[in-house]
Structure 1
């Protein structure tokens, strides 16, 4: 496969996943901010969300302290934010168009129809009382795209690069969400009732609340929340599950071994190993922040390494 084709497929997967992740995070933060308002901690909720999307510094540079309306506009339709929902759909459609013949009809329509519908939107349709409906629509479009890829695409290299981008983006999102709420997972966290809302919000951000209830059949406990989102391969948005799939894909793509490709696979395996080697008790005892920093930084390096190995330089 040509490197430029692989590059477009990889970033198509990343941008569609990112759009859905931003919508999930914003959806939950809107609810969390409403609960935080009586305690005067609403601003911290928006600051944490912007940090989780990796755009906090850029927002502050342009607009100063985050406000509910400002943060929502920044994450949905602001053209100055390269990770806003509108920017993600625009980039996804541009990449999909470049590799149109490598996609199935269902995948192309999921991307193209989303882009067309977004261009028809009035800014008011993504704000105020209509914001929640807009976010539900974005999440449904991301799910539609992923479902089309899983159900209609041949399991060839084109599918692998789309899936590789999706899983790398998903691992990064889960790690950043955990990092943005890491203060709710320290020693004695269970004694603070306010942390319970943080754990619940985090699980909702990755659609894992029902999975937690099914697996543990117990009230929310911080160690188990971290275990589920970092280490349990059963949940498709856990960091470990994402890196397991990244490893499997890289193993197939790197059949013609070169030193760069071996290094790429080793980095992915090392990231997974760092997660599964931990214990919830150790992370609750102060190791969570440092581990998440390693994962987030390592994920960035892995993306660069994948680019050098397989994609357009």
Structure 2
């Protein structure tokens, strides 16, 4: 496969997964911003969380000068000048899909093209007319439909593998960043009293944002708190959005790609997978730098893996 084609497929799926992850992030922040606060912050602080996680806080302030709920929601959802907005991600995904129409199925193309056309219509209405929660659910639904069309219609060739690579790289990074943001906000308080209403709703919102609330309820007893949530989202192989589940998939996909060029990426994925496979939550939490330091290191490793994939497969020789 030509590196250009592989790159378009890879980034098509990364942008679609990123749009879904942004919608999940925005939905949980918006929901928590509506809750009563106890003097340690307000709704605007909560709505600013997606800007901080995505590194666009300074860009927003440069454009708008101050925090404002309506402007932040528009900036994050519909601003075509913000490359980290959902609008921009879906537009980029559609552009990449158009470039590789001959390598994806008609069902996949029709789904992603229809999603983009609908997105433009929703942007004209604005969140005031469409509704923020409804919009976030729509983004997630369209992403699910595309994955279903992909899984159900495309041949299991290299095209399929590069699409899946993009999905799991993006998902692993998002899970780490969301968990780190909530832990930095709640970690110390959670250690003191994991039964507090604030901690319960914050951790529950994170689990729902990652579609893992039902899994948590099935595996653990009691209210969610840092140790249990971190173990679920980092080390459980049976939770689809956990870091370990993503690394298992990445390791499997990379090992199935032909040729020797990908050995650096294959080796790094195998090392990361093995580290997660043989780690315990006690080792993660009780290490020298604690959970935040551990997550920060893995965010860097996921970035290195993405760079290794790019160099090995996506750069023109």
Asked whether the 8 Å contact 1:13–1:163 carries over to 2, the reply is yes
Q: Distance in 1 between matches of 2:66 and 2:252?
A: 42
Task: Give 2:13's aligned residue.
Answer: 13
C-alpha displacement at 1:123, in angstroms?
Answer: 3.5
Equivalent runs, 1:1-313 vs 2, <5 Å: 1-37=1-37, 39=39, 40-127=41-128, 130-183=131-184, 184-186=186-188, 189=191, 191=193, 193=196, 194-253=198-257, 255-258=258-261, 261-285=262-286, 287-313=290-316
C-alpha displacement at 1:166, in angstroms?
Answer: 0.5
Which stretch of structure 1 is more off in the superposition, 19-28 or 33-42?
A: 33-42
Asked whether the 8 Å contact 2:247–2:272 carries over to 1, the reply is yes
TM-score by length of 2: 0.91
C-alpha displacement at 1:37, in angstroms?
Answer: 4.3
C-alpha displacement at 1:213, in angstroms?
Answer: 0.6
TM-score by length of 1: 0.92
Asked whether the 8 Å contact 2:18–2:89 carries over to 1, the reply is yes
Q: Distance in 2 between matches of 1:200 and 1:276?
A: 26
Asked whether the 8 Å contact 1:190–1:222 carries over to 2, the reply is no
Asked whether the 8 Å contact 1:23–1:139 carries over to 2, the reply is yes
C-alpha displacement at 1:158, in angstroms?
Answer: 0.3
The RMSD of aligned alpha carbons is: 2.0
Post-superposition Cα deviations, 1:141-181, rounded to whole Å, max 9, x if no partner, equal: 01111111111111110000001000100001100101111
Asked whether the 8 Å contact 1:43–1:67 carries over to 2, the reply is yes
Asked whether the 8 Å contact 1:21–1:173 carries over to 2, the reply is yes
Post-superposition Cα deviations, 1:64-106, rounded to whole Å, max 9, x if no partner, equal: 4433222211111011211211101110110000000111121
Which stretch of structure 1 is more off in the superposition, 280-289 or 236-245?
A: 280-289
Asked whether the 8 Å contact 1:186–1:284 carries over to 2, the reply is no
Which stretch of structure 1 is more off in the superposition, 75-84 or 278-287?
A: 278-287
SS at match of 1:75: helix
Q: Distance in 2 between matches of 1:196 and 1:120?
A: 37
Asked whether the 8 Å contact 2:78–2:123 carries over to 1, the reply is no
Asked whether the 8 Å contact 2:199–2:225 carries over to 1, the reply is no
Q: Distance in 2 between matches of 1:177 and 1:293?
A: 12
CA distance 1:122–1:237, change in 2 (3 Å): closer
Which stretch of structure 1 is more off in the superposition, 51-60 or 199-208?
A: 51-60
Q: Distance in 2 between matches of 1:276 and 1:63?
A: 45
Q: Distance in 2 between matches of 1:113 and 1:187?
A: 45
C-alpha displacement at 1:277, in angstroms?
Answer: 4.2
SS at match of 1:31: helix
C-alpha displacement at 1:22, in angstroms?
Answer: 0.8
SS at match of 1:211: helix
Post-superposition Cα deviations, 1:255-312, rounded to whole Å, max 9, x if no partner, equal: 3224xx2111122223334434443234444511111111111212211111110013
Asked whether the 8 Å contact 2:190–2:226 carries over to 1, the reply is no
